[in-house]
Structure 1
Amino acid sequence: MSFYISLSGLKAAQTDLSTTSNNVANVGSNGFKRSQAHFGDIFAAAPMQTTTQVSGQGVRVLGISQQFTQGTLEQTSKSLDLAITGDGFFTVKGADGTVSYTRNGSFAVDDDRYAVDATGARIQIFAVNPSTGALVTPPTNATTPAALTDLVIPTTLNGVANGPQLNSVGVSKEGLVSAIYADGSTVYLGQVAMASFNSLEGLRQQGNAHWTSTVASGEPILGTANQGMYGALETGMLERSNVDITEELVSLISAQRNFQANAKAIEAANTLSTTIVNMRS
Protein backbone atom coordinates (compact mmCIF):
# COMPACT_ATOMS: atom_id res chain seq x y z
CA MET A 1 0.00 0.00 0.00
CA SER A 2 2.85 2.41 0.79
CA PHE A 3 4.01 2.14 -2.83
CA TYR A 4 0.68 3.48 -4.09
CA ILE A 5 0.51 6.18 -1.43
CA SER A 6 3.93 7.49 -2.40
CA LEU A 7 3.07 7.12 -6.09
CA SER A 8 0.06 9.41 -5.60
CA GLY A 9 2.41 11.86 -3.89
CA LEU A 10 4.78 11.73 -6.87
CA LYS A 11 1.92 12.44 -9.27
CA ALA A 12 0.71 15.33 -7.11
CA ALA A 13 4.22 16.82 -6.91
CA GLN A 14 4.56 16.45 -10.68
CA THR A 15 1.28 18.33 -11.18
CA ASP A 16 2.49 21.04 -8.80
CA LEU A 17 5.77 21.28 -10.73
CA SER A 18 3.95 21.50 -14.07
CA THR A 19 1.58 24.20 -12.81
CA THR A 20 4.39 26.30 -11.37
CA SER A 21 6.54 25.79 -14.47
CA ASN A 22 3.69 27.05 -16.64
CA ASN A 23 3.44 30.16 -14.47
CA VAL A 24 7.16 30.83 -14.80
CA ALA A 25 7.08 30.24 -18.57
CA ASN A 26 4.34 32.88 -18.96
CA VAL A 27 5.83 35.56 -16.75
CA GLY A 28 6.16 37.77 -19.84
CA SER A 29 2.72 37.06 -21.32
CA ASN A 30 0.42 40.09 -21.21
CA GLY A 31 -2.87 39.47 -19.42
CA PHE A 32 -1.78 36.01 -18.17
CA LYS A 33 -3.19 34.83 -14.84
CA ARG A 34 -1.20 32.43 -12.71
CA SER A 35 -2.61 29.03 -11.78
CA GLN A 36 -2.51 27.17 -8.49
CA ALA A 37 -2.95 23.44 -7.92
CA HIS A 38 -5.18 22.27 -5.05
CA PHE A 39 -4.82 18.87 -3.38
CA GLY A 40 -6.88 16.72 -1.03
CA ASP A 41 -6.17 13.57 0.96
CA ILE A 42 -7.62 10.18 0.08
CA PHE A 43 -9.18 8.37 3.02
CA ALA A 44 -11.35 5.27 3.17
CA ALA A 45 -12.57 3.12 6.04
CA ALA A 46 -15.33 0.58 6.64
CA PRO A 47 -18.44 1.89 8.45
CA MET A 48 -17.67 -0.12 11.60
CA GLN A 49 -13.92 0.45 11.45
CA THR A 50 -12.12 2.67 13.95
CA THR A 51 -10.67 5.49 11.88
CA THR A 52 -7.91 6.16 14.38
CA GLN A 53 -6.34 2.88 13.26
CA VAL A 54 -6.43 3.71 9.54
CA SER A 55 -3.84 5.80 7.76
CA GLY A 56 -4.65 7.79 4.67
CA GLN A 57 -4.35 6.33 1.20
CA GLY A 58 -2.55 9.15 -0.53
CA VAL A 59 -3.31 12.45 -2.21
CA ARG A 60 -5.22 13.55 -5.29
CA VAL A 61 -5.53 16.70 -7.35
CA LEU A 62 -8.76 18.51 -6.53
CA GLY A 63 -8.29 21.04 -9.31
CA ILE A 64 -6.15 23.76 -10.81
CA SER A 65 -7.62 27.22 -10.42
CA GLN A 66 -6.52 30.55 -11.82
CA GLN A 67 -5.82 33.56 -9.65
CA PHE A 68 -7.48 36.60 -11.24
CA THR A 69 -5.50 39.19 -9.31
CA GLN A 70 -4.31 42.46 -10.81
CA GLY A 71 -1.08 42.35 -12.81
CA THR A 72 1.38 45.22 -12.96
CA LEU A 73 0.92 47.88 -15.64
CA GLU A 74 3.50 48.65 -18.30
CA GLN A 75 3.49 51.93 -20.20
CA THR A 76 3.61 51.66 -24.00
CA SER A 77 2.28 55.07 -25.14
CA LYS A 78 0.22 53.42 -27.92
CA SER A 79 -3.27 54.91 -27.98
CA LEU A 80 -4.96 51.53 -28.57
CA ASP A 81 -3.06 49.72 -25.81
CA LEU A 82 -5.55 49.41 -22.96
CA ALA A 83 -5.19 48.10 -19.42
CA ILE A 84 -7.96 47.42 -16.88
CA THR A 85 -7.31 48.64 -13.35
CA GLY A 86 -9.79 46.61 -11.37
CA ASP A 87 -12.25 43.90 -12.33
CA GLY A 88 -13.61 43.03 -15.74
CA PHE A 89 -12.60 41.68 -19.13
CA PHE A 90 -12.51 42.99 -22.68
CA THR A 91 -15.06 41.32 -24.94
CA VAL A 92 -13.70 40.20 -28.32
CA LYS A 93 -15.13 38.25 -31.25
CA GLY A 94 -13.06 35.93 -33.43
CA ALA A 95 -13.32 35.46 -37.18
CA ASP A 96 -15.51 32.39 -36.59
CA GLY A 97 -17.94 34.41 -34.47
CA THR A 98 -16.77 32.96 -31.16
CA VAL A 99 -16.97 35.48 -28.33
CA SER A 100 -14.19 35.33 -25.76
CA TYR A 101 -12.89 37.50 -22.94
CA THR A 102 -9.39 38.76 -22.25
CA ARG A 103 -7.32 41.07 -20.06
CA ASN A 104 -4.72 41.56 -22.79
CA GLY A 105 -5.52 45.00 -24.16
CA SER A 106 -2.93 45.10 -26.94
CA PHE A 107 -5.15 46.27 -29.80
CA ALA A 108 -4.26 47.47 -33.28
CA VAL A 109 -6.08 48.35 -36.52
CA ASP A 110 -6.19 45.75 -39.33
CA ASP A 111 -6.46 46.33 -43.09
CA ASP A 112 -10.23 46.72 -42.84
CA ARG A 113 -9.87 49.34 -40.07
CA TYR A 114 -11.25 47.05 -37.37
CA ALA A 115 -9.64 47.23 -33.92
CA VAL A 116 -8.29 43.72 -33.24
CA ASP A 117 -6.14 42.02 -30.63
CA ALA A 118 -3.04 39.91 -31.23
CA THR A 119 -5.16 36.90 -32.29
CA GLY A 120 -7.15 38.92 -34.83
CA ALA A 121 -10.31 38.97 -32.68
CA ARG A 122 -12.28 42.22 -32.90
CA ILE A 123 -12.95 44.23 -29.77
CA GLN A 124 -16.65 44.68 -29.03
CA ILE A 125 -18.28 48.01 -28.20
CA PHE A 126 -21.61 49.54 -27.31
CA ALA A 127 -23.04 51.84 -29.98
CA VAL A 128 -23.01 55.54 -29.07
CA ASN A 129 -24.24 58.79 -30.53
CA PRO A 130 -21.37 59.98 -32.80
CA SER A 131 -21.86 63.60 -31.75
CA THR A 132 -22.44 63.35 -28.00
CA GLY A 133 -20.98 59.95 -27.07
CA ALA A 134 -24.19 58.99 -25.24
CA LEU A 135 -25.00 55.28 -25.27
CA VAL A 136 -27.70 54.37 -27.77
CA THR A 137 -28.86 51.52 -25.54
CA PRO A 138 -27.58 51.66 -21.93
CA PRO A 139 -26.21 48.24 -20.87
CA THR A 140 -28.12 46.18 -18.32
CA ASN A 141 -27.53 42.80 -16.77
CA ALA A 142 -29.74 41.31 -19.47
CA THR A 143 -27.48 42.51 -22.29
CA THR A 144 -25.96 39.71 -24.38
CA PRO A 145 -22.80 39.83 -26.54
CA ALA A 146 -25.06 39.69 -29.62
CA ALA A 147 -26.07 43.29 -28.89
CA LEU A 148 -22.49 44.51 -29.31
CA THR A 149 -20.73 45.71 -32.47
CA ASP A 150 -17.17 45.76 -33.81
CA LEU A 151 -15.04 48.87 -33.37
CA VAL A 152 -14.20 50.46 -36.74
CA ILE A 153 -11.83 53.43 -36.99
CA PRO A 154 -12.29 55.22 -40.35
CA THR A 155 -9.27 56.97 -41.88
CA THR A 156 -11.46 59.87 -43.03
CA LEU A 157 -14.31 61.74 -41.38
CA ASN A 158 -17.44 59.56 -41.56
CA GLY A 159 -15.61 57.34 -44.04
CA VAL A 160 -16.16 59.86 -46.85
CA ALA A 161 -13.59 59.72 -49.67
CA ASN A 162 -11.25 62.73 -49.72
CA GLY A 163 -12.67 63.80 -46.36
CA PRO A 164 -10.58 65.17 -43.47
CA GLN A 165 -7.88 62.67 -42.44
CA LEU A 166 -7.70 60.97 -39.08
CA ASN A 167 -5.32 62.67 -36.65
CA SER A 168 -5.60 60.67 -33.44
CA VAL A 169 -7.70 58.19 -31.45
CA GLY A 170 -8.37 58.42 -27.73
CA VAL A 171 -10.00 56.20 -25.13
CA SER A 172 -11.33 57.59 -21.85
CA LYS A 173 -11.29 55.84 -18.47
CA GLU A 174 -14.93 54.93 -19.13
CA GLY A 175 -13.94 53.29 -22.43
CA LEU A 176 -15.44 55.95 -24.72
CA VAL A 177 -13.52 55.84 -28.01
CA SER A 178 -13.15 59.14 -29.85
CA ALA A 179 -11.48 60.03 -33.15
CA ILE A 180 -10.14 63.50 -33.97
CA TYR A 181 -9.81 64.51 -37.62
CA ALA A 182 -7.73 67.10 -39.44
CA ASP A 183 -10.49 69.71 -39.48
CA GLY A 184 -10.80 69.51 -35.68
CA SER A 185 -13.96 67.37 -35.72
CA THR A 186 -14.41 64.83 -32.95
CA VAL A 187 -16.45 61.70 -33.63
CA TYR A 188 -17.35 59.18 -30.93
CA LEU A 189 -16.99 55.66 -32.31
CA GLY A 190 -18.33 53.58 -29.43
CA GLN A 191 -17.81 52.57 -25.82
CA VAL A 192 -15.70 49.54 -24.94
CA ALA A 193 -17.82 46.66 -23.63
CA MET A 194 -16.65 45.17 -20.33
CA ALA A 195 -17.65 41.74 -19.05
CA SER A 196 -17.87 40.28 -15.57
CA PHE A 197 -18.91 36.84 -14.28
CA ASN A 198 -20.49 35.41 -11.18
CA SER A 199 -17.76 32.77 -10.96
CA LEU A 200 -14.38 33.59 -12.50
CA GLU A 201 -13.08 30.13 -11.59
CA GLY A 202 -15.69 28.64 -13.96
CA LEU A 203 -14.23 30.31 -17.05
CA ARG A 204 -12.67 28.00 -19.63
CA GLN A 205 -9.13 28.79 -20.75
CA GLN A 206 -8.61 29.10 -24.49
CA GLY A 207 -4.94 30.11 -24.55
CA ASN A 208 -3.46 33.47 -25.57
CA ALA A 209 -4.94 34.97 -22.37
CA HIS A 210 -8.49 34.34 -23.62
CA TRP A 211 -11.36 32.74 -21.74
CA THR A 212 -14.88 31.67 -22.72
CA SER A 213 -17.96 31.45 -20.53
CA THR A 214 -19.34 28.13 -19.30
CA VAL A 215 -22.30 26.95 -17.26
CA ALA A 216 -20.05 27.10 -14.19
CA SER A 217 -19.04 30.72 -14.80
CA GLY A 218 -22.53 31.89 -15.73
CA GLU A 219 -23.48 34.22 -18.54
CA PRO A 220 -21.40 37.39 -18.93
CA ILE A 221 -22.65 40.52 -17.21
CA LEU A 222 -21.85 43.36 -19.59
CA GLY A 223 -21.27 46.98 -18.71
CA THR A 224 -18.94 49.93 -19.19
CA ALA A 225 -15.60 50.72 -17.57
CA ASN A 226 -15.24 52.75 -14.37
CA GLN A 227 -18.83 51.97 -13.40
CA GLY A 228 -20.05 49.67 -10.62
CA MET A 229 -18.16 46.37 -10.62
CA TYR A 230 -15.95 47.29 -13.58
CA GLY A 231 -12.49 48.79 -13.34
CA ALA A 232 -11.26 51.87 -15.18
CA LEU A 233 -9.35 51.78 -18.46
CA GLU A 234 -5.82 53.13 -18.76
CA THR A 235 -4.80 54.03 -22.30
CA GLY A 236 -1.22 53.65 -23.49
CA MET A 237 -0.64 50.85 -20.97
CA LEU A 238 -0.76 47.05 -20.87
CA GLU A 239 -1.39 44.67 -17.98
CA ARG A 240 1.46 42.24 -17.55
CA SER A 241 1.26 38.76 -16.07
CA ASN A 242 0.38 38.58 -12.37
CA VAL A 243 3.12 35.99 -11.79
CA ASP A 244 5.53 36.80 -8.95
CA ILE A 245 8.74 35.10 -10.08
CA THR A 246 10.17 34.96 -6.54
CA GLU A 247 7.07 33.23 -5.20
CA GLU A 248 7.08 30.78 -8.10
CA LEU A 249 10.74 29.86 -7.54
CA VAL A 250 9.95 29.08 -3.89
CA SER A 251 7.01 26.94 -5.05
CA LEU A 252 9.31 25.10 -7.48
CA ILE A 253 11.74 24.28 -4.67
CA SER A 254 8.89 23.11 -2.43
CA ALA A 255 7.41 20.89 -5.16
CA GLN A 256 10.87 19.46 -5.92
CA ARG A 257 11.38 18.60 -2.24
CA ASN A 258 7.97 16.93 -2.09
CA PHE A 259 8.86 14.89 -5.15
CA GLN A 260 12.18 13.83 -3.62
CA ALA A 261 10.54 12.90 -0.31
CA ASN A 262 7.97 10.66 -2.00
CA ALA A 263 10.70 9.06 -4.10
CA LYS A 264 12.60 8.32 -0.89
CA ALA A 265 9.47 6.80 0.64
CA ILE A 266 9.16 4.45 -2.35
CA GLU A 267 12.85 3.58 -2.02
CA ALA A 268 12.39 2.82 1.69
CA ALA A 269 9.32 0.66 1.02
CA ASN A 270 11.26 -1.22 -1.65
CA THR A 271 14.13 -1.83 0.77
CA LEU A 272 11.74 -3.21 3.41
CA SER A 273 10.00 -5.44 0.87
CA THR A 274 13.35 -6.77 -0.36
CA THR A 275 14.45 -7.50 3.21
CA ILE A 276 11.25 -9.43 3.94
CA VAL A 277 11.55 -11.45 0.75
CA ASN A 278 15.17 -12.33 1.53
CA MET A 279 14.21 -13.40 5.07
CA ARG A 280 11.62 -15.82 3.69
CA SER A 281 14.06 -17.27 1.23
Structure 2
Amino acid sequence: MSFYTSLNGLKNAQTDLGVIAHNIANAETNGFKKGNTQFADIVVNSASSNPRLAQGLGARVEAITQNFSLGPIEQTGSALDIAISGDGFFAMRAPDGSTLYTRNGAFDTDGAGFINDGSDNRLQVFPTDATGTVTSMTPIDAQIPPFNGAGAEYAGVSVTDNGLVVATYADGSQTNIGTVALARFVSPTGLKQVGSSNWESTGISGAATFGLPNQGAYGSLMSGALERSNVDIAEELVGLITAQRNFQANAKAIDTATQISQAIMNLRT
Protein backbone atom coordinates (compact mmCIF):
# COMPACT_ATOMS: atom_id res chain seq x y z
CA MET A 1 0.00 0.00 0.00
CA SER A 2 2.83 2.40 0.84
CA PHE A 3 4.25 1.81 -2.65
CA TYR A 4 1.08 3.11 -4.35
CA THR A 5 0.73 5.96 -1.84
CA SER A 6 4.20 7.18 -2.74
CA LEU A 7 3.52 6.58 -6.44
CA ASN A 8 0.56 8.99 -6.17
CA GLY A 9 2.93 11.44 -4.52
CA LEU A 10 5.36 11.12 -7.46
CA LYS A 11 2.60 11.85 -9.96
CA ASN A 12 1.42 14.85 -7.94
CA ALA A 13 4.94 16.25 -7.72
CA GLN A 14 5.32 15.77 -11.47
CA THR A 15 2.08 17.71 -12.05
CA ASP A 16 3.29 20.49 -9.75
CA LEU A 17 6.59 20.65 -11.63
CA GLY A 18 4.71 20.89 -14.92
CA VAL A 19 2.58 23.81 -13.71
CA ILE A 20 5.63 25.66 -12.36
CA ALA A 21 7.54 25.05 -15.61
CA HIS A 22 4.58 26.46 -17.57
CA ASN A 23 4.56 29.56 -15.36
CA ILE A 24 8.29 30.14 -15.81
CA ALA A 25 8.06 29.60 -19.57
CA ASN A 26 5.43 32.37 -19.76
CA ALA A 27 7.17 34.88 -17.50
CA GLU A 28 7.48 37.24 -20.50
CA THR A 29 4.03 36.58 -22.02
CA ASN A 30 1.80 39.67 -21.98
CA GLY A 31 -1.45 39.16 -20.07
CA PHE A 32 -0.48 35.68 -18.83
CA LYS A 33 -1.90 34.55 -15.48
CA LYS A 34 0.04 32.01 -13.45
CA GLY A 35 -1.39 28.70 -12.26
CA ASN A 36 -1.25 27.10 -8.82
CA THR A 37 -1.60 23.38 -8.06
CA GLN A 38 -3.87 22.45 -5.16
CA PHE A 39 -3.78 19.01 -3.54
CA ALA A 40 -6.19 17.06 -1.34
CA ASP A 41 -5.55 14.04 0.89
CA ILE A 42 -7.08 10.62 0.26
CA VAL A 43 -8.51 8.89 3.33
CA VAL A 44 -10.08 5.42 3.56
CA ASN A 45 -13.03 5.60 5.93
CA SER A 46 -16.60 4.36 6.33
CA ALA A 47 -19.55 5.00 8.60
CA SER A 48 -18.72 1.97 10.79
CA SER A 49 -14.95 2.46 10.99
CA ASN A 50 -13.12 3.87 13.98
CA PRO A 51 -12.08 7.45 13.10
CA ARG A 52 -8.94 6.99 15.23
CA LEU A 53 -7.83 4.19 12.92
CA ALA A 54 -8.56 5.89 9.60
CA GLN A 55 -5.67 5.35 7.20
CA GLY A 56 -4.50 7.81 4.59
CA LEU A 57 -3.64 6.72 1.06
CA GLY A 58 -1.71 9.78 -0.03
CA ALA A 59 -2.83 12.81 -2.00
CA ARG A 60 -4.43 13.76 -5.30
CA VAL A 61 -4.54 16.86 -7.46
CA GLU A 62 -7.72 18.71 -6.51
CA ALA A 63 -7.41 21.67 -8.89
CA ILE A 64 -5.04 23.78 -10.95
CA THR A 65 -6.29 27.28 -10.29
CA GLN A 66 -5.47 30.48 -12.14
CA ASN A 67 -4.28 33.59 -10.32
CA PHE A 68 -5.84 36.69 -11.91
CA SER A 69 -3.94 39.26 -9.88
CA LEU A 70 -2.79 42.33 -11.82
CA GLY A 71 0.59 41.98 -13.51
CA PRO A 72 3.19 44.76 -13.83
CA ILE A 73 2.33 47.56 -16.26
CA GLU A 74 4.93 48.45 -18.89
CA GLN A 75 4.85 51.72 -20.84
CA THR A 76 5.24 51.15 -24.59
CA GLY A 77 4.11 54.42 -26.18
CA SER A 78 1.98 52.69 -28.83
CA ALA A 79 -1.58 54.04 -28.88
CA LEU A 80 -3.10 50.59 -29.51
CA ASP A 81 -1.26 48.99 -26.60
CA ILE A 82 -3.89 49.06 -23.86
CA ALA A 83 -3.69 47.88 -20.25
CA ILE A 84 -6.67 47.34 -17.93
CA SER A 85 -6.37 48.61 -14.37
CA GLY A 86 -9.15 46.51 -12.90
CA ASP A 87 -10.91 43.15 -13.20
CA GLY A 88 -12.20 43.47 -16.77
CA PHE A 89 -11.24 41.54 -19.90
CA PHE A 90 -11.07 42.66 -23.51
CA ALA A 91 -13.70 40.92 -25.64
CA MET A 92 -12.42 39.55 -28.96
CA ARG A 93 -14.43 38.04 -31.81
CA ALA A 94 -12.64 35.03 -33.28
CA PRO A 95 -12.79 34.19 -37.02
CA ASP A 96 -15.27 31.38 -36.26
CA GLY A 97 -17.65 33.86 -34.62
CA SER A 98 -16.99 32.80 -31.02
CA THR A 99 -16.02 35.32 -28.35
CA LEU A 100 -12.66 35.16 -26.59
CA TYR A 101 -11.53 37.15 -23.57
CA THR A 102 -8.03 38.40 -22.90
CA ARG A 103 -5.91 40.69 -20.73
CA ASN A 104 -3.30 41.09 -23.46
CA GLY A 105 -3.93 44.53 -24.93
CA ALA A 106 -1.29 44.46 -27.70
CA PHE A 107 -3.47 45.45 -30.65
CA ASP A 108 -2.88 46.56 -34.23
CA THR A 109 -4.92 47.19 -37.38
CA ASP A 110 -5.22 44.97 -40.44
CA GLY A 111 -5.59 46.02 -44.08
CA ALA A 112 -9.35 46.52 -43.69
CA GLY A 113 -8.93 48.77 -40.64
CA PHE A 114 -10.13 46.22 -38.05
CA ILE A 115 -8.37 46.43 -34.68
CA ASN A 116 -7.14 42.93 -33.85
CA ASP A 117 -4.57 41.01 -31.79
CA GLY A 118 -2.48 39.75 -34.72
CA SER A 119 -4.36 36.43 -34.83
CA ASP A 120 -7.43 37.78 -36.64
CA ASN A 121 -9.36 38.12 -33.36
CA ARG A 122 -11.15 41.49 -33.56
CA LEU A 123 -11.49 43.88 -30.63
CA GLN A 124 -15.10 44.52 -29.60
CA VAL A 125 -16.40 48.03 -28.90
CA PHE A 126 -19.75 49.65 -28.09
CA PRO A 127 -21.12 51.93 -30.86
CA THR A 128 -20.90 55.64 -30.01
CA ASP A 129 -22.22 58.84 -31.57
CA ALA A 130 -20.28 61.97 -32.55
CA THR A 131 -20.31 63.21 -28.94
CA GLY A 132 -18.77 59.97 -27.61
CA THR A 133 -22.01 58.74 -26.01
CA VAL A 134 -22.58 54.98 -26.17
CA THR A 135 -25.66 54.26 -28.29
CA SER A 136 -25.86 50.49 -27.79
CA MET A 137 -24.53 47.96 -25.28
CA THR A 138 -24.22 45.29 -27.98
CA PRO A 139 -20.51 44.97 -28.88
CA ILE A 140 -19.38 45.25 -32.50
CA ASP A 141 -16.05 44.91 -34.31
CA ALA A 142 -13.77 47.94 -33.96
CA GLN A 143 -12.99 49.19 -37.47
CA ILE A 144 -11.16 52.36 -38.49
CA PRO A 145 -12.23 53.66 -41.93
CA PRO A 146 -9.21 54.39 -44.14
CA PHE A 147 -10.87 57.67 -45.25
CA ASN A 148 -13.40 59.96 -43.58
CA GLY A 149 -16.52 61.41 -45.19
CA ALA A 150 -14.51 64.26 -46.72
CA GLY A 151 -12.06 61.86 -48.33
CA ALA A 152 -9.17 62.65 -45.95
CA GLU A 153 -6.76 59.80 -45.26
CA TYR A 154 -6.46 58.10 -41.87
CA ALA A 155 -3.54 59.56 -39.86
CA GLY A 156 -3.63 58.04 -36.36
CA VAL A 157 -5.67 56.74 -33.44
CA SER A 158 -5.94 57.35 -29.71
CA VAL A 159 -7.70 55.64 -26.81
CA THR A 160 -8.89 57.57 -23.75
CA ASP A 161 -8.98 56.16 -20.20
CA ASN A 162 -12.76 55.94 -20.66
CA GLY A 163 -12.18 53.53 -23.57
CA LEU A 164 -13.23 55.86 -26.40
CA VAL A 165 -11.34 55.00 -29.60
CA VAL A 166 -10.81 58.14 -31.71
CA ALA A 167 -9.42 58.11 -35.25
CA THR A 168 -7.66 61.21 -36.60
CA TYR A 169 -7.52 62.10 -40.31
CA ALA A 170 -5.16 64.15 -42.46
CA ASP A 171 -7.53 67.14 -42.55
CA GLY A 172 -7.44 67.37 -38.74
CA SER A 173 -10.91 65.94 -38.19
CA GLN A 174 -11.66 63.16 -35.71
CA THR A 175 -14.11 60.27 -35.81
CA ASN A 176 -15.30 58.22 -32.83
CA ILE A 177 -14.87 54.52 -33.61
CA GLY A 178 -16.49 53.20 -30.44
CA THR A 179 -15.92 52.60 -26.73
CA VAL A 180 -13.90 49.53 -25.74
CA ALA A 181 -16.19 46.82 -24.35
CA LEU A 182 -14.99 45.19 -21.13
CA ALA A 183 -16.26 41.87 -19.77
CA ARG A 184 -16.43 40.51 -16.22
CA PHE A 185 -17.26 37.09 -14.78
CA VAL A 186 -18.74 35.83 -11.53
CA SER A 187 -15.91 33.30 -11.23
CA PRO A 188 -12.94 34.17 -13.49
CA THR A 189 -10.99 31.17 -12.16
CA GLY A 190 -13.53 29.03 -14.04
CA LEU A 191 -12.52 30.44 -17.43
CA LYS A 192 -11.11 27.94 -19.91
CA GLN A 193 -7.61 28.64 -21.22
CA VAL A 194 -7.36 28.38 -25.01
CA GLY A 195 -3.82 29.69 -25.52
CA SER A 196 -2.30 33.01 -26.62
CA SER A 197 -3.46 34.60 -23.33
CA ASN A 198 -7.09 34.00 -24.35
CA TRP A 199 -9.93 32.47 -22.36
CA GLU A 200 -13.42 31.18 -23.09
CA SER A 201 -16.40 31.33 -20.74
CA THR A 202 -17.68 28.11 -19.18
CA GLY A 203 -20.52 27.04 -16.95
CA ILE A 204 -18.17 27.45 -13.99
CA SER A 205 -17.13 31.01 -14.86
CA GLY A 206 -20.65 32.07 -15.79
CA ALA A 207 -21.62 34.19 -18.78
CA ALA A 208 -19.78 37.42 -19.46
CA THR A 209 -21.28 40.67 -18.18
CA PHE A 210 -20.33 43.64 -20.37
CA GLY A 211 -19.68 47.13 -19.12
CA LEU A 212 -17.84 50.37 -19.77
CA PRO A 213 -14.33 51.30 -18.62
CA ASN A 214 -14.31 53.30 -15.36
CA GLN A 215 -17.57 51.59 -14.43
CA GLY A 216 -17.47 49.67 -11.15
CA ALA A 217 -14.73 47.02 -10.99
CA TYR A 218 -14.31 46.79 -14.78
CA GLY A 219 -11.32 49.11 -14.43
CA SER A 220 -9.92 52.03 -16.36
CA LEU A 221 -7.78 51.79 -19.49
CA MET A 222 -4.20 52.95 -19.96
CA SER A 223 -3.25 53.60 -23.58
CA GLY A 224 0.40 53.18 -24.48
CA ALA A 225 0.93 50.45 -21.88
CA LEU A 226 0.74 46.66 -21.58
CA GLU A 227 0.06 44.32 -18.67
CA ARG A 228 2.92 41.86 -18.30
CA SER A 229 2.76 38.34 -16.90
CA ASN A 230 2.02 38.15 -13.17
CA VAL A 231 4.59 35.36 -12.72
CA ASP A 232 7.13 36.07 -9.95
CA ILE A 233 10.30 34.21 -10.95
CA ALA A 234 11.71 34.14 -7.40
CA GLU A 235 8.47 32.64 -6.07
CA GLU A 236 8.37 30.06 -8.86
CA LEU A 237 11.98 28.99 -8.23
CA VAL A 238 11.21 28.41 -4.54
CA GLY A 239 8.18 26.35 -5.58
CA LEU A 240 10.37 24.47 -8.05
CA ILE A 241 12.78 23.49 -5.27
CA THR A 242 9.89 22.38 -3.05
CA ALA A 243 8.32 20.28 -5.82
CA GLN A 244 11.71 18.70 -6.56
CA ARG A 245 12.21 17.79 -2.91
CA ASN A 246 8.70 16.29 -2.76
CA PHE A 247 9.49 14.21 -5.83
CA GLN A 248 12.77 12.99 -4.31
CA ALA A 249 11.12 12.17 -0.97
CA ASN A 250 8.39 10.09 -2.63
CA ALA A 251 10.97 8.33 -4.79
CA LYS A 252 12.93 7.50 -1.63
CA ALA A 253 9.77 6.17 0.03
CA ILE A 254 9.16 3.87 -2.96
CA ASP A 255 12.75 2.67 -2.74
CA THR A 256 12.33 1.95 0.98
CA ALA A 257 9.04 0.08 0.41
CA THR A 258 10.76 -2.00 -2.28
CA GLN A 259 13.61 -2.89 0.08
CA ILE A 260 11.16 -3.93 2.82
CA SER A 261 9.21 -6.09 0.38
CA GLN A 262 12.47 -7.69 -0.79
CA ALA A 263 13.48 -8.36 2.80
CA ILE A 264 10.16 -10.05 3.51
CA MET A 265 10.48 -12.24 0.44
CA ASN A 266 13.98 -13.25 1.51
CA LEU A 267 12.84 -14.41 4.96
CA ARG A 268 13.60 -18.05 5.66
CA THR A 269 11.71 -20.15 8.09
Give your verdict on TM over 0.5.
yes
Aligned partner of 2:54 in structure 1 is 54
Which of residues 144, 157, 175 in structure 2 aligns to 1:153?
144
Secondary structure of 2:179 counterpart:
strand
| Paired amino acid for 2:2 | S
Q: Structure 1 residues 280 and 52 mapped into 2: Cα distance closer, same or farther (>3 Å)?
A: farther
Indicate whether 1:102 and 2:93 are aligned: no
Measured against aligned partners, the alpha-carbon deviations of 1:93-116 in whole angstroms (never above 9, x if no partner) come to 011111110000010000111000
Distance in 1 (CA, whole Å) between partners of 2:3 and 2:218 is 51
Measured against aligned partners, the alpha-carbon deviations of 1:15-34 in whole angstroms (never above 9, x if no partner) come to 10000000000111111000
- The answer for unaligned runs of 5 or more in structure 1 is 140-146
- The answer for unaligned runs of 5 or more in structure 2 is none
**Considering only aligned residues, what root-mean-square deviation do their CA atoms show, in Å?**
1.2
Aligned residues: 269
Distance in 2 (CA, whole Å) between partners of 1:111 and 1:177 is 18
Distance in 2 (CA, whole Å) between partners of 1:134 and 1:215 is 33
Measured against aligned partners, the alpha-carbon deviations of 1:44-92 in whole angstroms (never above 9, x if no partner) come to 1232221222320110010101000001111111111111111100000
Indicate whether 1:264 and 2:247 are aligned: no
Distance in 2 (CA, whole Å) between partners of 1:241 and 1:72 is 7
Distance in 2 (CA, whole Å) between partners of 1:148 and 1:212 is 17
Aligned partner of 1:274 in structure 2 is 262
Q: After TM superposition, give the deviation of residue 176 of structure 1 in Å.
A: 0.4
Indicate whether 1:64 and 2:52 are aligned: no
TM-score, reference length from structure 1:
0.93
Distance in 2 (CA, whole Å) between partners of 1:199 and 1:220 is 10
Q: How does 1:35-184 map to 2 (within 5 A)?
A: 35-129=35-129, 131-137=130-136, 139=137, 147-158=138-149, 163-184=151-172
Aligned partner of 1:220 in structure 2 is 208
Q: After TM superposition, give the deviation of residue 274 of structure 1 in Å.
A: 0.8
| Paired amino acid for 1:202 | G
Aligned partner of 1:208 in structure 2 is 196
Aligned partner of 1:189 in structure 2 is 177
TM-score, reference length from structure 2:
0.97
Hey, which bits of structure 1, 4+ residues long, moved more than 6 A? none
| Paired amino acid for 1:117 | D
| Paired amino acid for 2:134 | L
Aligned partner of 1:237 in structure 2 is 225
| Paired amino acid for 2:34 | R
Distance in 2 (CA, whole Å) between partners of 1:119 and 1:203 is 20
Secondary structure of 1:242 counterpart:
coil
Aligned partner of 2:27 in structure 1 is 27
Measured against aligned partners, the alpha-carbon deviations of 1:149-193 in whole angstroms (never above 9, x if no partner) come to 1111122213x6xx1222221101110011122222121110000
